[in-house]
Amino acid sequence: MSFLREISPLVKNTFLSERDVLSICAAQIAAEIQQDERKNYNEVLDLSSGDLHRGGIKSITFVRQVLAACFYPALLEDDSLPLDVKQRADGLLRQCDGGSVGSYTDSCGIVKIKQCVSKFITRRDGGVPSSPDNIFITSGSQMLMLKLLVQSGGSCRTGVLIPVPTYATFTQALEDQGAAIIPYHLCEEQGWTLQVEELRRALHAGRRTCNPVALYICNPGNPTGIIQSRKSIEEVIRFAAEERLFLLADEVYQSCVYGEDTEFESYKKVLSEMGSTIASTVELASFNSASKGFMGECGLRGGYVELVNLDPAVKEYTRTLFSTRSSPPVGGQIALDLMTDPPKPGDPSFLTFSEVEVFGEIPGISCQPLKAGFFVFPCLHLPLRAIKWAKKKQMEPDMLYCLHLLEETGLHVRPGCEFGQRKDSYHFRFDTMEDALQRLKTFHKQFMKEFS
């Protein structure tokens, strides 16, 4: 008996994306390298997923030492570990039932770690109070918030405004929940700025087909590497207040800010300093994660959401929703604790972090300056011949560019068509690692020469 007819339409409608095509090709190339069938490069450099460790970035020693001691407590007696590592691991184990990371925790996260996160937020926002009761630790906080907000049944779908470009996994999460996607375009010509006029245009267009309830913001931006000014944040908050929209603020790259004239301010901080009516009524969910940002511990899956100005009854539903899930992974919770309370100056494990190199200009590629995060979203100015060639092969030009970049150099990046972009513009998301830059420059010069 076949259950094919019973499979959800959402699953049946899933298609092979540009990311899948590139990933399959990357796997084939990696297999060929193993068999010594490729001679021009000896490894695939995978920058496609935003996984820093896969791309070659090394893990932070302090984080791995604490994790190791928590998972194997006998290391607490090892003199080779710094004292602050052993003290932190011992303190964390005391918060686990049975002194073991193998135990379940509260479904909303270990209480002490929630307190640690709350103190971090208060410090970050210059004293704006944060309560552990408003913090929920999870491995998928955005998905759970979408479950709370999106009504998939009925004649009028729930709509969510999202930026273009944005990363594909969030778009997929919206589709999985049955939400209507309402795209608003960031202005590349002005440094990927968010303009309220564009938000208003998108909202009015969306109201013709769905019920818009939420506005999703990614600040610092992924894949654009831009950071919003305070003025821009204030404009967005006023817009949300006027239109009664729930704000979803993805702020996972907040610790990755570069440049003397660049400063991260959270949506919560700016909201708290606006007029009392707005400050107390605009509903906000702010997301942060140890899986992204400077730690890049993607495999540990540890993040949190802080809820601001939620109706007490709604917050109780939120708590109920979170309680239906198993406890968040303990390893991810530990990483979150270390991210929000890192070693301090004078501690044996105090670390410094170097400044990230900015993308250099290459003929045929233009790029807005990297202000925050780890990625940039360069614009490809492709020869007309290359565009026609791609269309003939029924591919987006930037997809074909990325496919050839992968085949010729082993550099695996993701095309702009996957993130969303204006018609007849072409991009790719890029991490500014030196090896990757060198591979790109060599390939791009040859590609442009071939199609000129």
Q: d(Cα 181, Cα 70) in Å, to the nearest integer?
A: 42
Model confidence band, residue 117 (pLDDT cutoffs 50, 70, 90): very high
Handedness of CA 298, 249, 10, 322 (dihedral sign): positive
pLDDT of residue 11: 55
Which one of 16-25, 123-132, 342-351 scores highest in mean pLDDT?
123-132
Model confidence band, residue 363 (pLDDT cutoffs 50, 70, 90): confident
What confidence tens digit (pLDDT) does each residue in 278-320 have? 999 999 999 998 877 667 777 788 889 999 999 888 888 888 8
Handedness of CA 38, 57, 337, 223 (dihedral sign): negative
* Helix orientation angle between 61-71 and 83-94, rounded to the nearest 10 degrees: 50
Model confidence band, residue 354 (pLDDT cutoffs 50, 70, 90): very low
Which one of 8-12, 247-251, 328-332, 392-396 scores highest in mean pLDDT?
247-251
pLDDT mean across residues, the chain: 85
pLDDT mean over 428-434: 77
> What residues form DSSP beta bridges with 138?
303
Model confidence band, residue 91 (pLDDT cutoffs 50, 70, 90): very high
Residue 433 has pLDDT above 80, yes or no: no
Q: d(Cα 325, Cα 143) in Å, to the nearest integer?
A: 12
**Cβ-Cβ contacts under 8 Å for 77 (sequence gap 6 or more):** none
Structure tokens at 366: 């233009």
pLDDT mean over 376-388: 88
pLDDT of residue 18: 55
Helices (H), 38-158: 61-71, 83-94, 111-124, 141-149
Model confidence band, residue 353 (pLDDT cutoffs 50, 70, 90): very low
The domains found in the chain, sorted by start residue, are: 4-57+363-450 (3.90.1150.10), 99-340 (3.40.640.10)
pLDDT of residue 197: 96
Distances (CA, A) of 349 to 87, 279, 308, 343: 12, 39, 34, 6
Residue 357 has pLDDT above 50, yes or no: no
Of the listed ranges 71-80, 183-192, 251-260, the one predicted with least confidence:
251-260
pLDDT of residue 134: 94
pTM comes to: 0.80
